A = this chain, B = another copy of it.
Amino acid sequence: MSEATVVADLSERELLARIAARTGTARDALVGIGDDAAILRVAGSVVATTDTLVDGPDFRRAWSSGYDLGWKAAAVNLSDVAAMGARPIALLVALAVPGDVPVVEVESIADGLREACDALAPGCAVAGGDLTHSSVLTIAVTALGDTDGRASVLRSGARAGDVVAIAGEMGVAAHGLDILFGRFADAEGRAQPLTVEGLDALTEAERRAVERQLRPVPPLAQGPLAAEAGVTAMMDVSDGLVLDATRLADASRVTLDLSRDLLGPDPDRALRGGEDHALLATFPAGAVPENFREIGRVTARGALPVTVDGEAPRGPGGWDPYRDWAPLEGD
């Protein structure tokens, strides 16, 4: 097969076989790829979540390789499982691909899915999926997890007096997106390829921020550990810290007061940045586990769901796909 072979050159069966050869095996899969459905062994209850990445609003093929895309599609879903305090056990992948996409790009998607699972949630792997045709490259991943008998961790359990804490990075992926739009887009905002020269011109911190935007590394293992440590509420920060903290505060009917001094070296990006998939959690005072950092306190519900040093957060708060997405012609 040449580099130039595209999806339309293969039958569905051939393309599926190429993908299935690369996805690995989920440890708890009693039945994996190849039957009408997968069957997974679970010890506790099943945690299930789905998230879709669409070419355009969610990624640009000029910026994301197939590998990046597979990695990110896995990571964002695995993160939602961890945010319930659960252990990811399997992914199902619904892939809709234009006929002119190179087969090697689809194979790279499978590689990215597998390697994200291996790195972030060992034992988890793709256990099933669906392949169909679309004019827009779209990957919808469902992640399944096992509570292993732990109590589930909801957004609604935060109590006044709890500590607000974070595991993982804040604002790094947002910095990466700013760099992509600033250095790798034309005047109309259309994504341009990530050239070697362009990447070489970045500082090490900038390159790392771009990498984290394209291949997030959420702190998955901290989810079950937080559950065991007595976390009262938890969620992953996917749409922006202020926006997601607002959701947690609303669900718990409390106010989260964040301390600007605790938000790291770039507090503004920390407040609006989301795609790091950090774990935002609340713990009883004194019970914050090792890999979480305090960033604020839970108070009785005030006028605002989220404050920073007691005041309303300034600037844009987060991401809404309908409000914020504008189609870019030719992109």
Contacts and interface: CB of A to CB of B under 8 A. Distances in A.
Query: How many of chain A's residues touch chain B, expressed as a range?
Result: 35 or more
A56 B236 CA distance: 35
Interface string A45-82: 11111111010111000000000000000000000110
Contacts of A40: 45-46, 48
Contact of A128 (B48, B152, B320): B48
Nearest to A90: B48
A41 B49 CA distance: 15
Given A35-B154, A36-B84, A45 B57 contact: no
A279 to B, nearest CB: 10
B128 A94 contact: no
Interface string A98-117: 01000000000000000000
A243 B94 CA distance: 21
Nearest to A155: B35
A38 B49 contact: yes
Contacts of A50: 92-94, 128-130, 140, 142
A136 B136 contact: yes
A291 interface: no
Interface string A5-33: 00110111101000000000000001100
A327 interface: yes
Contacts of A12: 320-323
A172 B192 CA distance: 49
A203 interface: no
Contacts of A37: 47-49, 80-81, 83-84, 86, 143, 145
Oligomeric state, in copies: 2
Nearest to A54: B134
A92 B322 contact: no
A33 to B, nearest CB: 11
Interface string A132-162: 1111101010111101000010110000000
A48 B80 CA distance: 18
B45 A30 contact: yes
A120 interface: no
A49 B84 CA distance: 22
A185 interface: no
B152 A39 contact: yes
Contacts of A36: 49, 80-81, 83-84, 155, 235-236
26 contacts: A7-B322, A12-B321, A13-B320, A30-B45, A31-B152, A34-B251, A35-B84, A36-B81, A36-B84, A37-B84, A37-B143, A38-B49, A39-B46, A41-B45, A48-B127, A48-B142, A50-B129, A54-B132, A54-B134, A56-B135, A94-B140, A99-B322, A130-B140, A135-B135, A135-B327, A144-B144
